[in-house]
Chain A
Amino acid sequence: MQKIEDMVCTFCGCLCDDVTLTVENNMIIAADNCCTVGNAKFMGKNRLKTPIRKKDGAWEKVSYEEAIDYTVETLLNADRPLMFGWSGTHGEAQCIGIHMNELIGGVIDSTTSVCHGPSILAIQEVGHPGCTLGQVKNRADLIIYWGSNPVEGHPRHMSRYTVYADGYFLENAFKERKVIVVDVRETESAKIADEFVRVKPGGDYAVLSALRAIVRGKGDVVPESVAGVSREQLFRVADLCTSCKFGALFFGLGLTMVKGKYKNVSNAIELVDELNRHTKFTLTPMRGHWNVYGSNEVFTWMTGYPYAVDFCRGVAFYNPGETSAIDILARKECDACLVVASDPGAHFPRACVEHLKDIPTIVIDPFQSLTTPVADLQIPVGVTGIDAEGAAYRMDGIPLKVNKVLHSDYPGDAEILSRIYERMMEVKGQ
């Protein structure tokens, strides 16, 4: 039995790196320090043993060689191939994916387009006053969670980085900090807030505008109630914001994927921008998948754009809404799809999933998922952080190397993708 410390959990964007794993006979038998979701991933079962291919409606086992051949042939024969996913794998694999996509002139997109895509559009419009999570931990005396429920979605976020974390500049961090939660319902996170702001669904934009008006000294235009929030509470919240020493606003899909979408985020950024004329204030998107931010970083230095990149004309072209995965599928443009380290079967609209079923779909993933039933081929790989390793970026941009703890015969994502890419180059005579 061996205890291995300081391992990185590859579940959510918190990328907690203080997990202790107990390993016996090349199996993880315990995961300490991590939350229940992280624990479930480390202890996960249901892994495929070999590649499987659907023939005449039934699954059969195939070799890795055959799986690679099929993938190469399918993608090279496609007119409008899509490579989707990437947020559940390491950076090295993402880089190879970009090169491969460039070679075949396809569309490459990450799960960003169905989570914080609108946040990036807002950042591209108005910028991003942000910081690393350590800055929040050491300095912040005001924490806001807006449309985000960390108790359930990012269970250790509060203890590692915000509400309960020790801070260098705070004597008694827990007592000195105020917490505001803004949401449409009273979540578990709302229950621990000093101030819970309950917004009517779809009202976030208006509430943000009201706060901006108050902070700018134009509070007289604010009516008695804005989207269900009383004028009195709005003034109280604005006062908390301007009187703190360091405020940190975190926001989730409750802001990005509701009515108003990217405009909500722009408004939140401009509120933070305004607050910086009074005190110190930062804003951070609560990124979901452990390496979704890494996919944005890698895509950006390789192609210039963070997601939804179309190489069909040779140059990198970016226009979310046109070049994002859901749109390519909904228009039935896509005629072959490679899914890497994600589960569109669980998250995409029904019409898109049905189209995936109609076209050749290949999945590279360690686990069976809701995408497996619509796929023609699934290639199992190592799990980064368990039996595969590579680079990852936390939600705030901190890069970490994720190590492995077990030995296995599974190839990592980077290895399998390299083999596919090299074969493609051979076929294309490059």
Chain B
Amino acid sequence: MSELLIKNGYVIDPINNIHGEVMDIAVRDGKIVESVGSGAEIIDAHGMLTLPGGIDSHTHICGTKVNFGRYMSPEDMRAGRTTRIGDMHATSGYSVPTTYGNSYRYARMGYTTLLEGAMAPMEARHTHEEFQYTPLQDCMANTLFDGNWQALQAIHDNDIKRLAGIIAWYLTASRGFSVKLTNPGGTEAWGFGHDATCIHKRIEHFNVSPREIITGMIEANEMLNLPHSVHLHCNNLGKPGNYLCTLDTYNSIPDLNDKRQSLYSTHVQYHSYGGTSWHDFCSKAEDIARSVNAKPHIVIDTGQVMFGKTTTMTADGPMEFNLYRLYHNKWSNHDVELETGSGVIPVLYRRKNLVNAIMWAIGLELALLIDSPWQCILATDNPNGAPFVKYPEVMALLMSSTYRDAEFATVDPVTESRVSLPALDREFDWEEIAIVTRGAQARALGLVDHGKGHLAPGADADIAIYPIDVSSTDPSKEYETIINGFATTDYTIKMGHVVSRKGSCSVDHSNRTFWVRPRVSDNYDMGRDPAFIDSFNKYYSIRMANYPVQEEYVKRHICIETETSL
């Protein structure tokens, strides 16, 4: 039995309505408890902001395309190197760090749970292998379904039960956590060099529209009682004028779940663009925010862009090719059978580039214009908008209009005529920061009941203690203090163990993989469906028997089994 008592921390735990109280937190064997004995180890958190461990609900940290980002970019690897020291292994990389680099740097910022945003089902084993080398966080992955032939066929046949059976089988086989759609229909079309540019237009061969894919998947997702909703990367990412497509998509979303959202719409900054070309490109964050404010069944993350070098990577193959034709840098593309895509290119977001400056402003506008912080999650779509190490700067920008004004003064002056950011004076308080960096994620992912994102007895003892004295810090003015304070915890505690102390990390092998297994009847078990098996063995390049991810790739894991009506 190991016991720990965190004394006198300034605790904010929005899920449990703790709005900033000086209190003690007791921990026994990795869980929060009511009290501990006198022999417990003591951590003095006096004068320190104490929050549940941070959760990133959309990041790219492990798997084929992430590793390709490293593989093709020795220049990025050189930009962030550390040696083996103490328990810590050597790390490389700035925007796409090695697995240890990701793990240590997230731990340093107080993050203890990460969701990999896009796992190609055919390459799931790779993602899980990298999770094993991400030792300080619990991880889970979105499984990609945007072009899956069997799924498209079921949607075409309007057989949502079969669709749910297909999703259940692939989620279980890939040890995935949730359903991801990236440019639905578009990635399949990209298999022949095309794209899906309108959500109502049916794609070739399968004769289904992106809208039908999205709504069908949402219905099937809810039939399976999955903890998370459908996680959508909308069509037309990054194109001027795409906000209309985004609004159209939102208008199509049914409200099917009373516990959480029915749609998680990711990196919405990239989907909030007005104009008809790059010449009249402008922000439509107000329109998007208005739509989200009217639809409590939609939760978004911002996909904030921050200035500097980074690497873009997504399953959206056609989008990356378009981006490459703007940047002319270097382009990788990897279309994957079991149908999805991926692309990787390095980018530099410049303050003096008008388009980049507008993108930066849009992310902030979304956060400031969406009324409920529970509906608008802080993320950079790491590393697409910026590497996650920029999160403390994003937090400071949200907390301080003075800081925003100072930054705004450095960008292309034309930006002012294309965005509304300078007119927004909202400043986030500490609690709102706690919501957009952990509480909202835990709720959106359906993980509150599994002990994530809060500090009530029974929750996982994932705790971040920041060297920020809330009583004496004015975040509106002291934004440097905010940035430094959120960049490095005094203590990051994962399952009751201190895994990072002032940035120095310890070995911890308590990291686990969360995945889901919906229970379906034999009639809907694709593992017994002759047509499904034949099709898999005929068209995919590995045998179905060799496909499912074996137990040894998820050595420590939490399997969430769901009851379904199938």
Contacts and interface: CB of A to CB of B under 8 A. Distances in A.
Nearest to B543: A6
B383 to A, nearest CB: 14
Contacts of B93: 304
Given A5-B545, A303-B90, A130 B71 contact: no
Contacts of B67: 297, 300-301
A302 B89 CA distance: 9
Contacts of B334: 128, 130-132, 397
Contacts of A397: 64, 68, 123, 126, 334
A311 B91 CA distance: 11
Contact of A133 (B70, B130, B332, B541): B541
Given A95-B133, A102-B89, A316-B81, A300 B337 contact: no
Interface string A211-245: 00000000000000000000000000000000001
Interface in B541-566: 541-543, 545-546, 550, 552-553
B414 to A, nearest CB: 31
Nearest to A18: B543
Contacts of A35: none
Given A6-B543, A124-B73, A314 B123 contact: no
A102 B90 contact: yes
A301 B129 CA distance: 10
A53 interface: no
Interface string B313-338: 00000000100100000111111111
Interface in B238-292: none
Nearest to B93: A304
A301 B91 CA distance: 10
B82 A160 contact: no
A124 B332 CA distance: 10
A372 interface: no
A135 B191 contact: yes
Contacts of B209: none
Interface in A118-147: 120, 123-135, 137-139
B336 A131 contact: yes
B126, B191, B337, most chain A CB atoms within 10 A: B337
B83 interface: yes
* Size category, B interface: 35 or more
A8 B336 contact: no
B228 interface: no
B77 A305 contact: yes
B193 interface: yes
Nearest to B69: A300
Contact of A138 (B123, B337, B553): B337
B74 A6 contact: no
Q: Which secondary structure dominates where chain A touches chain B? A: mixed
A123 to B, nearest CB: 5
B326 to A, nearest CB: 14
A391 B149 CA distance: 27
A168 B192 CA distance: 13
Contacts of A296: 71
A316 B92 contact: yes
B335 A315 contact: no
Interface in A291-334: 296-297, 300-306, 311, 313-316, 318
A18, A103, A305, most chain B CB atoms within 10 A: A305
Interface stretch (A57-65, A198-206, A256-264, A398-406): A398-406
A146 to B, nearest CB: 19
Nearest to B546: A17
Given A132-B122, A166-B538, A318 B74 contact: yes
Interface of A: 5-6, 8, 17-18, 91, 95, 99, 102-103, 120, 123-135, 137-139, 160-161, 166, 168-169, 245-246, 273, 276, 279-280, 282, 296-297, 300-306, 311, 313-316, 318, 391, 393, 397-401
Given A135-B191, A280-B193, 20 more contacts: A17-B546, A126-B330, A127-B330, A131-B334, A131-B335, A166-B539, A246-B192, A246-B193, A300-B70, A301-B67, A302-B98, A302-B99, A304-B92, A313-B83, A318-B77, A391-B553, A398-B122, A399-B126, A399-B129, A401-B550
14 contacts: A91-B129, A124-B71, A127-B330, A130-B334, A131-B336, A133-B541, A137-B539, A280-B192, A301-B62, A305-B92, A316-B92, A391-B129, A393-B126, A398-B542
